[in-house]
Structure 1
Amino acid sequence: MTTSLHTLTACALCLASAQAVAADPSPWTLRTGPANVGFSTRADVRVNGNLVPGANAAASSSTTLGLELSYDIDDRLTARFLAGIPPRTTLTGKGSLASAGQLGKVTYAPAVASLTYKLMTDGPVRPYVGAGINYTIVTQNRDGFISDLDTRSAWGSVLQAGVEIPLDPLWSISVDARKIFLKTKATGVLPAMGGAAARADVRLNPLVVFVSVGRRF
């Protein structure tokens, strides 16, 4: 009799615990998946302080593994922080700078903090929009046509939109895009021009597309 009572009590506690988890899920979610970074680049290039007419630069797209930690403030508001393995982009001369070819390579670590608003709290697909800030840390510069390349870390603003698709109370998949408005400076010297000083004011304005699998914990 005592054993049966203990068994029933244990079952009741397990059921109550399961109901509590279902009724009050964790506000924390960890998401991971591929993040593609594509740039919309425009540059004002100066050599020895003089603007080079028609000179421009392009930055190659890159894909890395992204990791996002999010916290549900309430049913609609979510605070998010996205980072990832630092990818590398190749800078290439365009316009009147096209003959220079590869200007250099930059390894960078973008970090995005944002606040999103869920437009729908129920249903199989739950869209959201948001805004935030970005800090892109340049971890390494590699010379190309430009020697002593120095690309600065920089802050930027962020607009975000995406959808979350719950699979069960713990698991979900998400797809979102974050447009970052980012401007930086790059400096170096041009050995092909007798060591002339080069400087570029660069608008990168990357679009980060993040496809992820998430789990509450």
Structure 2
Amino acid sequence: MKKAVCISTLSALALVLAGNSMAQESPWQIRLRADYLKPANKSDPIGGVGASDRLQVNNKTIPEIDISYFFTSNWVAELVLTYPQKQNVSLDGKNIGSFKHLPPTLTLQYHFLPQAQFSPYLGAGVSYTRISNVDLLNGAGSLDNSSWGLALQAGLDYKLDKNWLLNLDVKKLQIRSDVYAGGEKISRVQIDPWLIGMGVGYRF
């Protein structure tokens, strides 16, 4: 009888300690990633005449930092940040200028196996892109100042220990803008890039 009581007491103590450990786990996580940005490069015919998709934005690798907050072990909000990125624009393969964009993105994720070493997740949210430093057609061309769009996300965390992890992440963003020349709209571009990233994370 005493043995059974002792075992029960130790089991209860272990559950309490485990609960305290989980309660003390920080809800904050940060990741650093390198993302390969590949635009969809869809555009309307110039001036409504001729072929589509003549305007192109270059592919590039960009740095990314994201900050995550765990509401529960499954539901997570993630804010994705970088610094303004310069992109080159070409028309029929010839460079016609550049612009910068800053696309902070907020997603809500669901982590399917939060306690497993391999932890996959899906996310969806919104992206706001600020477009600046537009220099097209020797100053004759311009773009909209901003773009709102949807963001979709899928990823996988591989936990190295209780704090450190490796991450693979894929996002699809909506970034769109009208294109102007001489004050007149001449086309509309759908940059809509894929962002394919790998990086490292830390759970505080």
TM-score range, shorter chain: 0.7 to 0.9
Q: What is the CA–CA distance in structure 2 between the aligned matches of 1:146 and 1:198, rounded to whole Å?
A: 17
Partner of 2:199: 212
How far off is 1:127 after superposition? 0.7
Residue identity in the other structure for 2:161:
D
User: Which of 62, 65, 75 pairs up with 2:63?
Assistant: 65
Q: What is the CA–CA distance in structure 2 between the aligned matches of 1:38 and 1:58, rounded to whole Å?
A: 11
Residue identity in the other structure for 1:102:
N
Are 1:164 and 2:161 matched, yes or no?
A: no
How far off is 1:34 after superposition? 1.1
Q: What is the CA–CA distance in structure 2 between the aligned matches of 1:20 and 1:119, rounded to whole Å?
A: 23
Partner of 1:201: 188
- Please list every run of 5 or more consecutive structure 2 residues that lacks an aligned counterpart in the other structure: 1-16
Partner of 1:29: 29
Q: Please give the TM-score of this superposition, normalised by the length of structure 1.
A: 0.77
User: Which of 87, 90, 94 pairs up with 1:89?
Assistant: 87
Residue 73 of structure 2: SS of its match in structure 1?
coil
Q: What is the CA–CA distance in structure 2 between the aligned matches of 1:88 and 1:62, rounded to whole Å?
A: 9
How far does the alpha carbon of each residue in 1:115-134 deviate from its partner, in whole angstroms, 9 at most, with x for none? 01112223221111111100
Partner of 1:192: none
Aligned pairs, how many? 186
Partner of 2:38: 38
Partner of 1:150: 142
Q: What is the CA–CA distance in structure 2 between the aligned matches of 1:71 and 1:23, rounded to whole Å?
A: 15
Which stretch shifts more, 110-119 or 205-214? 205-214
Residue identity in the other structure for 1:124:
Q
Q: Please give the TM-score of this superposition, normalised by the length of structure 2.
A: 0.82
How far off is 1:181 after superposition? 2.5
Residue identity in the other structure for 2:28:
W
Partner of 1:52: 49
Q: What is the CA–CA distance in structure 2 between the aligned matches of 1:133 and 1:44, rounded to whole Å?
A: 24
Which stretch shifts more, 19-28 or 71-80? 19-28
User: Which of 128, 139, 158 pairs up with 2:132?
Assistant: 139
How far does the alpha carbon of each residue in 1:83-105 deviate from its partner, in whole angstroms, 9 at most, with x for none? 102221111113xxx5xx11221
Partner of 1:11: none
Residue identity in the other structure for 2:49:
V
Equivalent residues of 1:22, 1:169 under 8 A apart: no
- Please list every run of 5 or more consecutive structure 1 residues that lacks an aligned counterpart in the other structure: 1-16, 190-195
